[in-house]
Amino acid sequence: MPRPVIGITCSRSVGGRWSDYDLGHFLEFAFDAYSQAVLNCGGAPLLVPISQSKNSLTVISSRLDGLILSGGPDINPRFYNDDPHQGLKDVDESQDEMELELTRQALAAGVPILGICRGLQLMNVAMGGTLYQDIASQVPTACNHSPRADRGTVTHKVRIKPNTRLQKTFQRSNLLVNSKHHQAVKAPAPGLVISAVASDGIIEALEDPSRPFVLGVQWHPEGLWKTDVAARKLFKALVTAAGKYWGTD
């Protein structure tokens, strides 16, 4: 069977000059660990840049068998009807708008979705949920969810809820994860259920049990897939769901 095509959303940063005539430009990127994990687990990775129109996103989403909403900057709180908090960091409205539109199109079409870190938060906002804009100042009892550690270092434990897709995927009730975020889900969107939490109560995973595969995790499995069985299982679960979706086309 052909490899299912897995879209991976990009972030962007302002780059330097590449010619004597440029004043600067945006660099659109996704860390290669996402693509490596998808490729290793049987999928065909395809980067989705931010520079889009609604029409171009419709064309792209119609060709995807699965979608990864990757990590990135803070989400502008206006997209979940909140005012900016003093702890809010950099936002990119163009990225927000592109990913929200792509997510809603994918949801409408039944495309399997895996949200990672910001991707979990974006998925929640796209479906009507809200966020903590800054954990440290808004949840003072929380542990440090953004430690100075590389993406391959596990930093805290999460408790996985029984009888969830996440629990069935991992076949375990807890997991050590590599946490790197200062925002988090506050109120889950209608239809999304909590499938994992940290010891301090911060939501670490959401899923939609009414859909074939809509799942988001707050940690970074792309940083662990080479050495961690659970991380590989997550990407393989997405690719498997994408293969089934491809088979219905």
Q: What is the pLDDT of residue 179?
A: 85
Tens digits of residue pLDDT in 214-248 = 999 999 999 999 999 999 999 999 999 999 997 65
Catalytic residues: 117, 220, 222
First vs last C-alpha separation in the chain: 14
Domain coverage including residue 61: 5-246
> pTM here?
0.94
Q: Which pair of structure tokens corresponds to residue 123?
A: 């998925």
Tens digits of residue pLDDT in 118-163 = 999 999 999 999 999 999 999 998 888 777 767 778 888 999 999 9
Here the CATH number for the domain that contains residue 187 is 3.40.50.880
The C-alpha atoms of residue 9 and residue 29 are separated, in whole angstroms, by: 8
- The domain total for the chain is 1
